[in-house]
């Protein structure tokens, strides 16, 4: 007998109370709740749930099937999924009730069927072997995503991108906290997110050929127009990057360009901490990344994820941190002090707003008030006593 029918029968013993159904949202994500990660090896997988508009006492039962909705129809039965522990263990045999193959689902036709389980809402204390657990209340009850099943899948044999997708979901919620027998109600299940695992070309920082900070820079003190690239080292460490000392206004955008070895047709990027207006636009062999002016003295890690080549079959980019930039005011003249001497350097007409990332290099200048024009208005910002360079010299890329 299917798990859903077994639990439905058990629920009947719990004196089900007819109320408006709750909705259990389910999704599949990777590390860091990412919707897209690089494949080619073992990938961590998380099935998460949350009850929206919850009016009851939490999850009593849940289940769903897992398959690959990608073009390659990858066999996902090698995925090893289990409870993450804690309250979720109450949904596993013998504490709870699952299908015969266990909490991680039954392998059928390349798919995993009926992952999940139910709690001991019937208050069974024996002599049967299961369920015998204590019902945990308020599981997945609220806006926060909760891990319902965790594990991994080996994607080494995959030839095309994998799209891990849930379907045929079912759920019950606790109608009241009465115990040891708990009334339950059938819940609506909504699948709200898949996990894309990119295959081929993905997986390391070396997927791209270069990274550069590009926008709002201008060479040689000239005003208006012209960009000057500042290269970012993204070739070695897990979070490589550079520190760019400069003063920031309160509005406007900054720009970074990520270059690849072949033409790019689509891509995405995420930052930590999150940046407003963060977008990634394909442009030939590059992604043009735009984001709102960052907080001064803060380091940002950027992940380039879910990027595809012109052939639309080769994934590039990775789910780990690809590069890092620290934006800050700093020691412009590199005399080991952040003081008025830096102001005198940066306000000289020949050196208007230098941006330097190495000793002895007088680099591009910057549009401090983010009005799109390099002019005296920028100088007036940095010369105000209240804006005298704060010391962020100890800040480093994580």
Query: ∠ at Cα 252 (246, 258), nearest 5°?
Result: 75
pLDDT band of residue 359 (cuts 50, 70, 90) is: very low
CATH number for domain 3-198, candidates 1.10.760.10, 2.60.40.680, 2.40.50.140, 1.10.3130.10: 2.60.40.680
Mean pLDDT of 149-158: 91
Q: What is the domain partition of the chain in residue ranges?
A: 3-198, 205-387
Mean pLDDT of 243-249: 46
- Mean pLDDT of the region 59-86: 95
| pLDDT of the residue at 201 | 45
SS3 content of the chain, % helix, strand, coil (to 5): 10, 40, 50
Q: Both tokens of residue 322?
A: 């690809």
Instruction: Work out the pLDDT band at 373, boundaries 50, 70, 90.
Output: low
Give the residue, 188 or 353, on which the prediction is more confident. Answer: 188
Does the pLDDT of residue 284 top 90, yes or no? no
Q: What is the pLDDT of residues 206-238, one digit of tens each?
A: 356 777 776 554 443 333 344 456 666 655 444
- Whole-angstrom distance, CA of residue 207 vs CA of residue 260: 7
Q: What is the DSSP letter of 354?
A: B
Kindly report each contact of residues 97-103 with a partner whose C-beta sits within 8 Å and lies 24 or more positions away, as own/partner: 97/3, 97/6, 97/7, 97/10, 97/130, 97/131, 98/3, 99/2, 99/3, 99/63, 103/149
pTM: 0.51
| Digit-coded pLDDT (tens) for 374-385 | 556 655 665 666
Q: How high is the pLDDT of residue 24? A: 95
- The span from the CA of 207 to the CA of 192, in Å, is 30
Strand partners, 23: 52, 188
55: confidence class by pLDDT, cuts 50, 70, 90: low
Q: Name, of 14-23, 77-86, 324-333, the range with top average pLDDT.
A: 77-86
For residue 260, pLDDT over 60 is answered with yes
Report the distance separating Cα 197 and Cα 161, nearest Å: 6
- Measure CA 250 to chain center: 26
- Residue 314, pLDDT > 80, answer no
Tokens of 383: 């010369």
SS3 at position 6: helix
């Amino acid at each position: 007998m299917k798990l859903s029918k077994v639990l439905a029968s058990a629920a009947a013993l719990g004196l089900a109370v007819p109320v408006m159904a709750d909705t259990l949202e389910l999704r599949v994500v990777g590390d860091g709740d990412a919707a897209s990660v690089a494949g080619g090896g073992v990938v961590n997988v998380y099935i998460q749930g949350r009850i929206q508009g919850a009016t009851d006492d939490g999850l009593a039962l849940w289940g769903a099937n897992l398959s690959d909705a990608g073009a390659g129809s990858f066999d996902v039965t090698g995925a090893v999924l289990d409870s993450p522990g804690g309250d979720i263990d109450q949904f596993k045999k013998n504490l709870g009730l699952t299908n015969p193959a266990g909490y991680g689902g039954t392998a059928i036709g390349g798919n995993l069927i009926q992952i999940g389980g139910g709690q001991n809402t019937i208050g069974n204390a024996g002599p049967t072997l299961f369920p015998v657990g204590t019902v945990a209340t308020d599981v997945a009850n609220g806006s926060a995503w909760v891990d319902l099943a965790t594990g991994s899948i080996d994607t080494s044999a995959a030839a095309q991108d994998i799209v891990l997708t849930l379907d045929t979901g079912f759920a019950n919620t606790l109608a009241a906290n009465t115990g040891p027998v708990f009334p339950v109600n059938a819940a609506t299940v909504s699948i709200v997110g898949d996990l894309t695992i990119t295959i081929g070309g993905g997986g390391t920082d070396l997927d791209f050929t270069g990274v550069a900070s590009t926008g709002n820079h201008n060479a040689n003190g000239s005003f208006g127009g012209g960009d000057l690239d500042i290269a970012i080292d993204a070739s070695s460490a897990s979070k490589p990057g550079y520190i760019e000392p400069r003063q920031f206004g309160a509005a406007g955008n900054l720009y970074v360009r990520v270059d690849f070895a072949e033409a790019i047709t689509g891509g995405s990027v995420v930052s930590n901490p999150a940046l407003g207006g963060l977008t990634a636009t394909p442009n030939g062999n590059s992604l043009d990344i735009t984001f709102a002016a960052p907080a001064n003295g803060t380091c940002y890690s950027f992940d380039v994820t879910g990027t595809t080549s012109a052939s639309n079959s080769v994934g590039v980019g990775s789910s780990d941190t690809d590069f890092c930039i620290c934006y800050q005011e700093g020691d412009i003249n590199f005399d080991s002090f952040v003081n008025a001497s830096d102001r005198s350097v940066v306000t000289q007409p020949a050196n208007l707003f230098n941006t330097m990332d190495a000793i002895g290099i007088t680099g591009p200048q910057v549009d401090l008030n983010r009005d799109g024009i390099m002019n005296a208005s920028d100088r007036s910002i940095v010369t105000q006593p209240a804006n005298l360079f704060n010391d962020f010299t100890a800040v480093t890329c994580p």
